[in-house]
């Protein structure tokens, strides 16, 4: 019989730490329900002591899902653990994930401590968490740069204290696959309490050198039985290990005899959902879920694939949920079709919200021939501006070759109307300058990217923006078939972040 590999998804904790990609609780619940449908074993729902938002999300996710274990992160500190216990009170299956840095860098510079004291703190945290929950995972932060002998002492001590899972994070993404694999092998061989029917080791690999998936697989091949992953590999810096890459690597290599519980046909829909809710584009050549992952453009490849897909395809796109025949909505589609398409994409909404999205959908369908899944996912997340203090009332732009670029803008600020006009060296510049005339604060645009959602000149353009104000960076997002309007929406989104602070 194949060995079972547990899939621990940390999209909503480590993944969500990406600046500008934070989700609200409702969005997190949508993702959590899709993770449940995908078949993950553990959902790391947040770090409850870090903010009231995280605390609340862990509570609400615990109520919303049934089968996966809900995990809450804590430092090796009693008040963190107390808060995690409190946040997990509605979870049907619960886990506390506690830990401390174990590399000499962390011990010396972060804790100003020594190796023995760190083991004492680790053991005390596990014992304390065990008073409240049976399932306790311990993380040895920066295990990647912790020497193996000392790491084995830490793992041995926390397993004796009752840890059910020990996480070996390559926090800085430094290790080569062969090194990470031999670290796991060393621990398996030198710690008695690990193995079948005992505590298990978990991989948690970051992608700073592009080796997160390779490192995780080496960990599994050397005895780890849980992998910590995120959808699309999102996460701070270069990200975490991607769920889809590990799962499909194991599925396409069945002789490795390692199974997961994942329903792979749900991979593509959740990938798009996470990308859309977090406003985080997936790179086109991303393995498994990138737009080009199954696109054959050279004549030789196309010819081969038409004769027999296996000539150039190692996976059937349908196995990861890519369905070429997916229905495209148009202006004639009704509410029921829209609701169905939202459901297929994992979004279950009440009739009031459906009415609102349907109105936006009709407006978009008037401007665009076909409305795709990506478009409706964008619409479903679009009511972010509902509580905005500063709102766009109207925008009129004249631009072209041989004429002056002029923009007139109307804003509603706390329901009062303001207007301004400005010229610029292009339509976006003119629009932003007119906006700045009204807002009149020292704002510096640090980043500005425009991206089309799928294809076609009628496509919705997405704009990501970073604006610096008063020494802080604010992230904004806008989406519109008119890229000047999308740019202004993104700028207004940034402004609302600091006026609402």
Contact footprint for ligand KIV (CB under 6 A):
14, 139, 141, 167, 169, 171, 204, 206
Of 99, 129, 77, 136, the closest CA to residue 14 belongs to 99
Beta bridge partners of 451: 462
> Which one of ligand KIV, Zn ion, none is in contact with 480 (Cβ closer than 5 to 8 A by kind)?
none
Q: In whole angstroms, give the CA distance from residue 391 to residue 495.
A: 10
- Is residue 44 at the binding interface for Zn ion, with CB under 5 A as the rule? no
Q: Which residue is nearest to ligand KIV (CB)?
A: 169
Instruction: Report the residue number, 106 or 341, with the smaller CB distance to ligand KIV.
Output: 106
List the structure tokens of 169. Answer: 């994070």
- Is residue 489 at the binding interface for Zn ion, with CB under 5 A as the rule? no
> Which one of Zn ion, ligand KIV, none is in contact with 141 (Cβ closer than 5 to 8 A by kind)?
ligand KIV
Instruction: Report the residue number, 14 or 54, with the smaller CB distance to Zn ion.
Output: 14
Of 153, 165, 155, the closest CA to residue 115 belongs to 153
Pairing type for strands 390-398 and 405-413 reads antiparallel
Instruction: Report the residue number, 33 or 206, with the smaller CB distance to ligand KIV.
Output: 206
Strand order in the sheet with 390-398: 390-398, 405-413, 416-424
Q: In whole angstroms, give the CA distance from residue 267 to residue 162.
A: 34
Instruction: Report the residue number, 141 or 374, with the smaller CB distance to ligand KIV.
Output: 141
Of 349, 332, 265, the closest CA to residue 29 belongs to 349
Smallest distance from the beta carbon of 420 to Zn ion, in angstroms?
45
- List binders of Zn ion among 402-441 (CB under 5 A): none
| Near Zn ion by CB under 5 A: residue from 14, 135, 489, 493 | 14
Stretch that binds Zn ion, among 7-15, 146-154, 179-187, 395-403 (CB under 5 A): 7-15
> Which one of ligand KIV, Zn ion, none is in contact with 139 (Cβ closer than 5 to 8 A by kind)?
ligand KIV
Stretch that binds Zn ion, among 11-19, 183-191, 361-369, 406-414 (CB under 5 A): 11-19
**Contact at 8 Å (CB) between 69 and 113?**
no
Smallest distance from the beta carbon of 171 to Zn ion, in angstroms?
6
List the structure tokens of 183. Answer: 């670290």
Q: In whole angstroms, give the CA distance from residue 191 to residue 220.
A: 17
Smallest distance from the beta carbon of 227 to Zn ion, in angstroms?
13
305 HSE (CA, 13 A, CB side): 15
- Is residue 27 at the binding interface for Zn ion, with CB under 5 A as the rule? no
Read off φ and ψ for residue 329, nearest 5 degrees.
-90, 150
Stretch that binds Zn ion, among 13-21, 78-86, 342-350, 378-386 (CB under 5 A): 13-21
> Which one of Zn ion, ligand KIV, none is in contact with 230 (Cβ closer than 5 to 8 A by kind)?
none
Instruction: Report the residue number, 33 or 145, with the smaller CB distance to ligand KIV.
Output: 145
Q: Who contacts 105 (Cβ-Cβ below 8 Å, separation ≥6)?
A: 142, 145
List the structure tokens of 304. Answer: 């081969």
Smallest distance from the beta carbon of 422 to ligand KIV, in angstroms?
45
> Which one of Zn ion, ligand KIV, none is in contact with 478 (Cβ closer than 5 to 8 A by kind)?
none
Smallest distance from the beta carbon of 178 to ligand KIV, in angstroms?
20
Smallest distance from the beta carbon of 342 to Zn ion, in angstroms?
32
Of 14, 31, 72, 29, the closest CA to residue 48 belongs to 72
CA–CA distance from 147 to each of 38, 156, 187, 235 (Å)?
A: 36, 14, 11, 25
Smallest distance from the beta carbon of 47 to ligand KIV, in angstroms?
8
Q: In whole angstroms, give the CA distance from residue 494 to residue 109.
A: 35
- List binders of Zn ion among 224-253 (CB under 5 A): none
CA–CA distance from 82 to each of 37, 48, 88, 159, 202 (Å)?
A: 30, 10, 10, 21, 24
**Contact at 8 Å (CB) between 420 and 438?**
yes
Smallest distance from the beta carbon of 58 to ligand KIV, in angstroms?
15
Q: In whole angstroms, give the CA distance from residue 485 to residue 394.
A: 9
> Which one of ligand KIV, Zn ion, none is in contact with 27 (Cβ closer than 5 to 8 A by kind)?
none
Instruction: Report the residue number, 8 or 474, with the smaller CB distance to ligand KIV.
Output: 8
Smallest distance from the beta carbon of 171 to ligand KIV, in angstroms?
4
Instruction: Report the residue number, 154 or 342, with the smaller CB distance to ligand KIV.
Output: 154
Smallest distance from the beta carbon of 7 to ligand KIV, in angstroms?
16
Give the CA diameter of the chain.
78
Q: Which residue has the tokens 């193996």?
A: 148
Helix residue ranges, H only, 209-319: 212-221, 243-251, 267-277, 299-307
- Is residue 170 at the binding interface for Zn ion, with CB under 5 A as the rule? no
- Is residue 135 at the binding interface for Zn ion, with CB under 5 A as the rule? no
Smallest distance from the beta carbon of 288 to Zn ion, in angstroms?
21
> Which one of ligand KIV, Zn ion, none is in contact with 493 (Cβ closer than 5 to 8 A by kind)?
none
List the structure tokens of 349. Answer: 């909404």
Name the site residues for Zn ion (rule: CB under 5 A): 14
């Amino acid at each position: 019989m194949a060995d079972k590999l547990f899939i621990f998804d940390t999209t909503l904790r480590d993944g969500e730490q990406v600046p500008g990609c934070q989700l609200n609780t409702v969005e997190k619940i949508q993702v959590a329900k899709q993770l449940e449908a995908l078949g993950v074993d553990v959902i790391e729902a947040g770090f409850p002591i870090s903010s009231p938002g995280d605390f609340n999300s862990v509570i609400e996710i615990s109520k919303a899902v049934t089968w996966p274990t809900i995990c809450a992160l804590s430092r090796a500190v009693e008040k963190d653990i107390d808060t995690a216990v409190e946040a997990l009170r509605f979870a049907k299956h619960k886990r506390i994930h506690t830990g401390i840095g174990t590399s000499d860098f962390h011990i010396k510079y972060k804790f100003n401590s020594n190796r023995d004291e760190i083991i004492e703190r680790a053991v005390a945290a596990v014992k304390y968490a065990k008073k409240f929950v049976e399932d306790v995972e311990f993380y040895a932060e920066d295990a990647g740069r912790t020497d193996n002998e000392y790491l084995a002492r830490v793992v041995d001590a926390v397993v004796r204290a009752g840890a059910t899972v020990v996480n070996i994070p390559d926090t800085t993404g430094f290790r080569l696959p062969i090194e990470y694999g031999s670290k796991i092998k060393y621990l398996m061989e030198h710690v008695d309490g690990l193995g079948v029917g005992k505590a298990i080791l978990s991989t948690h690999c970051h992608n700073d050198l592009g080796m997160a998936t390779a490192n995780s697989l080496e960990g599994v091949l050397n005895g780890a039985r849980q992998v910590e992953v995120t959808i699309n590999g999102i996460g701070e810096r270069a990200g975490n290990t991607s769920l889809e890459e590990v799962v499909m690597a194991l599925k396409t290599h069945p002789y490795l005899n390692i199974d997961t519980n994942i329903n792979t046909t749900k991979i593509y829909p959740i990938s798009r959902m996470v990308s859309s809710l977090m406003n985080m584009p997936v790179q086109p050549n991303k393995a498994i879920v990138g737009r080009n992952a199954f696109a054959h453009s050279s004549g030789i490849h196309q010819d081969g694939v038409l004769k027999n897909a296996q000539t150039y395809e190692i996976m059937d796109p349908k196995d990861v949920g890519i369905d070429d025949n997916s229905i495209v909505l148009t202006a004639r589609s009704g509410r029921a079709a829209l609701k169905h398409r939202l459901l297929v994409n994992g979004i279950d909404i009440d009739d009031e919200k459906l009415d609102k999205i349907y109105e936006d959908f009709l407006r978009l369908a008037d401007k665009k021939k076909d409305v795709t899944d990506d478009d409706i996912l964008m619409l479903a997340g679009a009511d972010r501006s509902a509580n905005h203090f500063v709102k766009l009332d109207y925008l009129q732009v004249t631009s072209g070759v041989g004429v002056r670029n002029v923009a007139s803008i109307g804003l509603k600020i706390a329901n009062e109307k303001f207007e301004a006009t400005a010229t610029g060296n292009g339509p976006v510049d003119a629009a932003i300058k007119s906006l700045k005339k009204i807002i009149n604060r020292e704002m510096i645009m640090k980043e500005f990217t425009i991206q089309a959602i799928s294809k076609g000149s009628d496509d919705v353009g997405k704009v990501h923006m970073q604006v610096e104000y008063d020494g802080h960076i604010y992230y904004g997002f806008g989406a519109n078939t008119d890229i000047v309007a999308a740019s202004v929406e993104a700028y207004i989104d940034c402004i609302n972040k600091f006026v609402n602070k």
